[in-house]
Amino acid sequence: MRNIWGSFTGKKAGRAFLLPAVIILLALTIFPFLFSLFLSFGKVSFLGGLQINFAGLKNWARLFGDERFYNALRITILITVIAVAIEYALGLGLALLLNRGVKGSTFFRVLFFLPMMLTPIAVGYMWRMMFHFTRGPIDHVLPLLGLPAVAWLTEPKIVLYSVILTDVWHWTPLMILILFAGLQSIPPALLEAARVDGAAGWRLFREVIFPLLAPASIAAILLRTIEVLKIIDKIYILTGGGPGIYSESMTLFGYSLGLRAFDLAYGATIAFSPFVTVLAISIVFLLMTRRFQEIGLE
């Protein structure tokens, strides 16, 4: 009886200690989420103090008729697709090399992970200096190689690829980390059995390694897709959304109208568009993961 009472008391004490953390978490996440959702259906006025009036679907109708929103959506999707594809291809290739135990793999493993340890703001300022047209080292080296200098951050046709290059440099290590862990989890006996059956080289990778790596691949792609869809920090530091709006993402668009122009209701509406996009993509990826798990069980 004493043991049962002690166990019950211990559970109550544990919940009591967890309660402040849960309250703070809910206050910092659930309340802003619900308040932003409420704002997306309202109209904010600062005359005579803060006033929020119900406006129905006017903000959403304005959103779907806003050409600037569609431009931001197109740019966000373009950055996401290209950046994640390059990060996955580079991450998979480097993870395969590290998994083979090449000479100096421990050193390169640490070296590859260094960019991921930097904050996005620091990375943005570093690459802004690298891309500088007159004082940047990249445009200093290009003429020495017989190539023209490039306006990396002011040329509309190039600026997006500058943002993508910065993101690839920063977050390819995360792809390497996840995919390398996936490769390490593959049983060596399974690979050896495949080699005995005649699978080697490209065939071994295509028929054995890549299918077994699918759950790790889906997780890595999902994590990076979610993060890139919300990209704002690097773009804000590198270009500020310019030139014009050629590099303006959805999140930066919402920030500009909501917190700079103080159009809070419309800014909240814009902020929910990446949320809906991320939610839809997450559901698709989770369904894909479940399907792969079912195939593995079969």
**Can you tell me the distance from the alpha carbon of 113 to that of 95, in angstroms, rounded to the nearest whole number?**
12
Within 8 A by CB and 6+ apart from 266, the residues are: 59, 62, 63, 257, 258
Q: What is the average pLDDT value for the chain, to the nearest integer?
A: 84
- 173: tokens are 């290590």
Residue 238, Cβ density class (10 Å: 0-12 exposed, 13-18 middle, ≥19 buried): buried
**Can you tell me the distance from the alpha carbon of 33 to that of 31, in angstroms, rounded to the nearest whole number?**
5
Name the residue with tokens 């006017």. Answer: 58
Higher pLDDT, 261 or 298: 261
Question: Taking the model in full, what pTM does it have?
Answer: 0.84
**Can you tell me the distance from the alpha carbon of 114 to that of 28, in angstroms, rounded to the nearest whole number?**
30
Within 8 A by CB and 6+ apart from 54, the residues are: 41, 42, 43
Asked which of 6-10, 165-169, 219-223 is least confident by mean pLDDT, the reply is 6-10
**pLDDT at position 80:** 93
| Distance (Å) of CA 294 to CA 261, 288, 289, 290, 291 | 50, 10, 9, 6, 5
| Under 8 Å between Cβ of 159 and 170 | no
Asked if the model's pLDDT at residue 9 lies above 70, the reply is no
Q: Kindly state the percentage of the chain with pLDDT values over 90.
A: 28
What stretch of H or E contains 78?
A: helix 67-99
Residue length of the chain: 298
**pLDDT at position 75:** 94
The mean per-residue pLDDT over the stretch 165-190 comes to 90
| Under 8 Å between Cβ of 193 and 267 | no
| Under 8 Å between Cβ of 41 and 225 | no
- 33: tokens are 């989420």
- 194: tokens are 């495949």
The mean per-residue pLDDT over the stretch 13-21 comes to 79
Domain boundaries, the chain: 58-297
**pLDDT at position 298:** 53
**pLDDT at position 160:** 93
**Can you tell me the distance from the alpha carbon of 240 to that of 154, in angstroms, rounded to the nearest whole number?**
11
- 256: tokens are 């500009």
**Can you tell me the distance from the alpha carbon of 84 to that of 291, in angstroms, rounded to the nearest whole number?**
22
Asked if the model's pLDDT at residue 273 lies above 50, the reply is yes
- The third-level CATH classification (topology) of the domain covering 58-297 is MetI-like fold (1.10.3720)
Taking only the tens place, the pLDDT of each residue in 131-156 is 988 888 999 899 888 888 889 999 99
**Can you tell me the distance from the alpha carbon of 79 to that of 71, in angstroms, rounded to the nearest whole number?**
12
